[in-house]
Amino acid sequence: MVEISTSILSVEKEKATRTFYDLETAHTDYFHIDVMDGKFVQNNTHELMKEYANTIKQISNIPLDIHLMTYNVKDYIEQYIDLEPNIITFHIESVESKEEAYEIIKFIKENNAKVGISIKPNTKVEQIYEFLPYIHMILVMTVEPGLGGQKLIPDTLEKVKKLKQYIDENNIEIDIEVDGGIKLETAKMAKGVGANIIVSGSYIIKSEDYKKTISELKE
Ligand code: DX5
Ligand code: ZN
């Protein structure tokens, strides 16, 4: 059974609180908060995501899965840590050195959250192997970060397969999350190659029946 992390990027502002209630009732396992700084990716969603995350925190205990698509990672961690997120994920492409990556890993743990590292479609999985023993999740982007509603890039699933093989061969306990363009078909493919947490945004938010959509994605 996989877990579902619903991306709230495409939630309409005027319906936001209602939507979050409905997603909780529909048993999403996480709320996926897509924080973009307008520099690492063109879009800037920070204010809106902060507002949404605050609203969720007030009405729900469902864990927050924070996806930072930002530079100045520590500054953004500080902006969200008061919401006691379950996990904070940063992009390996947004730090200047391995030392900086290890510092961020330590900083997130010191703030009592789990650590995720995300890789963009063109980043090789080998680039993050050394961090795996120290973190809790790898977020494999299945689209270029920056937008919801995009189409999954098929060869990113090869990366998931390779990563799964590596963690199994090396007995590493870690979650593999896929993010971007995930609908029923692509969720099946992602599970088939080893992903155990599925982010889905527009496919869930646009669907008629959240509970049905989420349970189908989980099967
Ligand atoms: C893209 C975000 C994804 C995106 C998922 O940069 O990281 O989480 O919002 O949305 P869909 O499922 O619509 O591709
Ligand atoms: Zn995301």
In this predicted structure, what is the pLDDT of residue 147?
96
For residues 31 and 10, give the distance between their C-alpha atoms in angstroms, rounded to a whole number: 12
* 198: exposed, middle or buried (Cβ count in 10 Å: 0-12, 13-18, 19+): buried
In this predicted structure, what is the pLDDT of residue 1?
76
Cα 89 to Cα 38, 46, 85, 137, 170: the distances in Å are: 17, 15, 10, 8, 22
Structure tokens at 117: 């590292």
Per-residue pLDDT of the chain (219 residues; tens, 9 = 90+): 799 999 999 999 999 999 999 999 999 999 999 999 999 999 999 999 999 999 999 999 999 999 999 999 999 999 999 999 999 999 999 999 999 999 999 999 999 999 999 999 999 999 999 999 999 999 999 999 999 999 999 999 999 999 999 999 999 999 999 999 999 999 999 999 999 999 999 999 999 999 999 999 999
Q: How many CA atoms, within 13 angstroms, populate the side-chain half-sphere of residue 55? A: 20
Ligand nearest to the CA of 7: 1
Measured from the Cα of 41, ligand 1's closest atom is 6
- Does the annotation count 168 as an active-site position? no
In this predicted structure, what is the pLDDT of residue 176?
98
Structure tokens at 190: 């992602």
- Does the annotation count 34 as an active-site position? yes
In this predicted structure, what is the pLDDT of residue 137?
98
Measured from the Cα of 183, ligand 1's closest atom is 12
Residue nearest to atom 4 of ligand 1 (CA): 148
Give residues (CB < 6 A) around ligand 1. Answer: 7, 9, 32, 34, 67, 69, 143, 145-150, 179-182, 199-203
Identify the active-site residue in 22, 29, 34, 155: 34
Q: Is 194 left (phi over 0), alpha (psi -120 to 50) or beta?
A: left
